[in-house]
Structures are given as structure tokens and as C-alpha cells.
Structure 1
Amino acid sequence: MNNSLSLSRHDALDRGGKAQPLLRVRGLQKHFTITRGGMGRQAKRVHAVDGVDFDVYKGETLGIVGESGCGKSTTARLLMHLLAADHGEMVFDGDPIGQRGGISVRGMRRQVQMVFQNSYASLNPRMSVEDSIAFGPQVHGVNRRESRQRARRLLDQVGLSSRLFAHRYPHELSGGQRQRVNIARALALEPRLLILDEAVSALDKSVEAQVLNLLMDLKQEYGLTYLFISHDLNVVRYISDRVMVMYLGKVAEMGEVEALYRAPAHPYTRALLSAMPSMNPDQRTQQAPLVGDPPNPIDLPPGCRFCPRCPMVEDACRDAEPALEACGTAHQVACRRADEVMAGAVPVKRISEESPT
């Protein structure tokens, strides 16, 4: 695979132009049943993803953030059809996925690839690095010789010498090297969209920076689009163009990265950003920006799901769940008091090093 081939293939596949989202998701839902109904009992379900709407535009990086259990990884697996969605519509560059007259799941998976968090578990311990990268193209009809040549080119592309690493096995590699192999394997099918699920969270900071820079270089060289999932808000700000904040299976806020970081419109987003460590050693947080645990995803509170933890909750918040609505240019939020939040009605209290604690 070389740059000209990859870009020409992307141009041939791009039917809707830049204005058409590469991926369009509407009403995505996944509930996990944990107890069955019967004998008058009501079935209990975990509301993992509960009606999520978003678009991923061509050439951008959309970051997804939120606490553990908010539905980030489940959303990624639903997009890859590793889990079957209960409801929802997914459209890839104008083609409905898995529907008559659209694109098949197999065809979608050639254009959408995923890099997982656990770099070791993602690789077959009995397959060499070269075989792991070449396996995907072979499954999709590329002959053995060409797929192996592609694997060696990609190894060199991601910073691993094919002469030294092609015949090694996963246990012979470091965490950063294994993740580079996973990135190469994802690129082997010349995808248009890469889903990166906590792809750098298990790496040391120095290695993390190298992999992030590699991802940005590959994005520019091959015209890729990224869906980047992470709990590290600094990393998300560095790599993303837009950010989607999730809370208990719902989208709480979405907007351009710098605008959202400067003026968050949802109390939950503001609390997340306030929890970021300060680079100023003379500043410390006086109190936790967010207290309490998320509600039980089996027994959700009425109205807004953030009510039990929200410092700005009012009676109307408990009556009905707020819809995701526009809040300024290219900014959406699901909060009735978004204007007050953006105006700083929820201040972050800090104290200096000299102040008494």
C-alpha cells in the first residue's frame, strides 16, 4: 500500500463529497438483559447505550469522553457490529449498513477498522506480526504474496523495521510496539475510518506521545477519519477536532474541541474539565468538582440522568429528559440551563498554596 493508491481509492469511494458525513448514527440503542421476566416479574435491563445521535465528518477526528460505564466502548462495538444494536440506524457515506440497497456489514468492515485498548489480547499469540497484519487482506480476497508485502510496508510505515519485527510474536514486543502492530493491521485493508478505543491509555507517556504523533501523521498521509475514545481529556484535546461527551448512555454535549473546552454548556462537562490536573503548582482544587456516583443504569432516575449529581438541578429537570439541542454554532447540549453554565454559574473553587486548608 502506498499513499497514492490509498488516496485514489478513497477518492473513488467518496460519493457524497465533504458535505456528506462519513458516518451517520441515529437512535442507536443497546440494552443488556440481566434478569428475565416471567411469573409476573419485570425483566431488568442495563441501559448501556440509549438513543445516541451523532455524525462523523470526513477527515475529522471525533473524540468521545465520559466516565467509565457511560457507553463509549459499547458504542464503538455497535458501530463495528461486534454487538447487535437493539434499535438505530447507521449510514456509511450515504449507504445504510446491513440493509437492502445499502452496504453489507462485510463491506463496511473493510472501510471501518478498530484498534482496541488491550494491545496484547488483540493479537493472536500463535501468529507472527507479519501473519497478523496480512490476515485481514487475505480474508477479503487479497492473495498471500501481496498481503505479506503490504504487511511489511505497513510495519516500516508505523516505525517498526520489517526486517527485525516481521517474524516476531506478540510476547516478544513491548506494549507500544504491539499497539503499532495493531495500527498497521487496521490499516492493512485501507480503511476510511479508524475507531480507536482507548488505544493509548495503557502506554507510558513517552510512548503515548509517539503513538499519537504517528496517528496524526497517518491521518494526514492517508486521508483517514478517526473516532477517538479516551478518558484522558488532554489527549482528546490534542488530537480531536470535535468532542462528544457521554453520560449514562446518552450524549450530554457535543461541539468543536476548543469551544467546548473554553465554555462547556453542560454541568457534567464542566465538572469533567474542572477535574483536569492544573499545570500551576500554586493552584489546588478546594473541593471535588463532582461528587457522588452515577445512578444505577438499571434503575435510572426520572428526567435528566444527571439530576442526582447536578449542582444546578431544578424541579423541571426531574420532570422530563432534556433533548440534545443546538447551543451556538456547531454546538449541541442536553441541558435546560446551558446558558447559565456557559456564563460560569458553576464556578470552580480553587485555593492557592499559601491559603489555609
Structure 2
Amino acid sequence: MTTTLFTPYTIRQHTIANRLWVAPMCQYSADDNGMPTAWHQVHYGQFATGGAGLIMVEATAVTPEGRITPSDLGIWDDAHITAFTPITQFLTDHGATPAIQLAHAGRKASTWPPTTGNSGTIPPTQGGWETLAPSALPFGSESGVPEADQYATPRAMTEDDITSVIANFVAAATRAIAAGFQVLEVHAAHGYLLHEFLSPLTNTRTDQWGGDITNRSRLAVNIVAAIRERHPEVPLFVRISATDWVDGGYTLDDATITSQLLRDAGADLIDVSTGGNVARAPIPAAPGYQIPHAEHIARNANIAVSGVGMITDPHQADSYIREGRVDAIMVARHMMRDPHFALRAADTLGQDVHWPAQYSRAQGFPA
């Protein structure tokens, strides 16, 4: 049988209705305690009624200090369980798989929300906080761009800091499952804490957490192993940036080794993105530009992958699945433009999928 964009996907004991998924996208709309608001209920709910198979809730901080901005979601307290439950219940009731990206922003934490028009680190006098990183290098310093003047120098993490971060991820995973999330993703991409450990540009440590790619992968691998030990049944993804797009940075070969190590630690799928660690890196963005990275990792690390990156056309998305290049498609900004993209894609491709009863009279109309 030919695998298509709308073929179900089973991972461990969980079956996802199709392979067209919503990627995590920060909304900067949480309250001061990292709680989801009415915005999140509507934002994620629309993707469920729009036919997406899996909906990944945006980067959700495992500690208050791990937030990118003060307006980020969090899951560091048991009170977050109750706050997220109505969202996961709605997604489940409408046939979608609720997933969540667990995150720590590292040196890119404590920044102004983009909605403010400001950029860089928020000073402590204005509500900011001390940031952490593998090494005391501010964002932008690796490329000598003006952004470096806008970001505070982070504190290099101690062994105790690293041990605490691992425990924070595990505790957050436990809360996420209690809140009804059925898939977890560890965020190790886009220049945030775990990516900072992976890249030689941002990790200059000489201990067991730095040096060769095995050591630089150690923190992400240990987090995955600890979550897997605590929760052997949960589908577990890891998002990585497969390249920094600059000489001397994290490479696709590095990413392949990291993916092998993550697979052995218990990861089920690598969510392959790129970039984010180097300010103004020359990224050759184009439709599907990250798919070759995902395909390379799938074939050389022997692990399932999802592909993302300017995927806007149903035939384009379906071809990546039919050709066996990736196992699933993650769509980000195009889902914000068209929350019912999955239903429209099914019509375009002639696939018979479940529509909400309230929308059924629109099924089959021209896109």
C-alpha cells in the first residue's frame, strides 16, 4: 500500500490520524506565570477542527528561567497541569494528537517578546533574569554581529546546574503526560540551551559536556534517557537544528551522530529543522529546503524523521511522504495562515478524511 500524507502513523502504542502535523510556534501570549490563556485554547483548537493529525504546543519552559520571554508558556508547576487539560481534551475530542515541546532557552532566555518591538535581553531592573549556557558567550558573539551588544553574557553552567536541568525536563514530562499530552518533544534546536551544548561555536567546555560530538550531545541524550526511563510508553521526539549554516558550527554529520545517540537513548523520531544558533547565518530558505537534512538523518541514523520548512502545497507535502523521504510533515507559518490546511489538502489530494460535523457541508468544495 502506498503511504500518503493521510495514512495513519503508529508510534509505540499510539496512532496519529495522519502525517500532516502542526509544528510548535511561540505565541508569546501566556500570563506572567506561564499559564495558557483563552488565546491558546482557540489557537490550538482551530488546528484540531482543521484536520491536523498532531498538534505540537509551542516551546514550553521547564523552569521559569528557561522561558524565551516572560510571555512564554511553562510547565514547571503542578498548577500548569490543570491549565493545559482543557486544551488537550479538546484536541483529543476532535481526533488530533496533543503534543508538547519541552524547552529551555539557555542564553536566549529573558528576552523581550517580539510583540513589544524591542529585542535582546530584558535587564533585571525591568523584569529580566540571569541566563544560563554551556559557556559564557552571549548570542551574536560567535559571528561578531551587532546583536551581541543586545544580549547579556550568560553564566556558564555548573555540574549542579546541569543535573537540575535534567531533573526539570523529567518533571515537566511527567506533568505534560498528566495534563493529557500524548506525545512529548525535547527542544534541542534553534539556538536554545540543548542546541548551545551541541554546537562547538557555543560550547567551549573541556569537561564531559564539551569537546567531541559525543560529549556535546550528552545533555540532550541524558535528558531523553531519563524521560524514557520514567515514561517507557510515551512517544518521544527531539527537535534538532541539523546545521548552524556556518563554517565551524554544528554540521549534518554531527546531527547524524547526535540522532543515533538519541535513538539509542529512547527517542522515537527526530524533528529536523536547521539554524537559530548563529545570528544572521546565511540560510538558503526555499520550499522544502530542510527536507534533505531530514532524509539524510533518517537513512544514516536509522530513525523516523519529520520534515519542516516552507511547505505550503498539498502535492509538495504528499510527495515527501510518498517518496519515503520523511515519515511526517510539520507545518508552521502556513498553518497560521490557513488553520484548516489539512482539510483543504485532503480535498485537493482526493483523500477521504473525517470532517467535524459542523463543517461537513463545506467538504468537497473547491479550495
Coarse TM-score class (shorter-chain normalised): 0.3 to 0.5
Q: Give the number of the structure whose residues are more often strand, by fraction.
A: 1
Q: TM-score, normalised by structure 2?
A: 0.36
Q: TM-score, normalised by structure 1?
A: 0.36
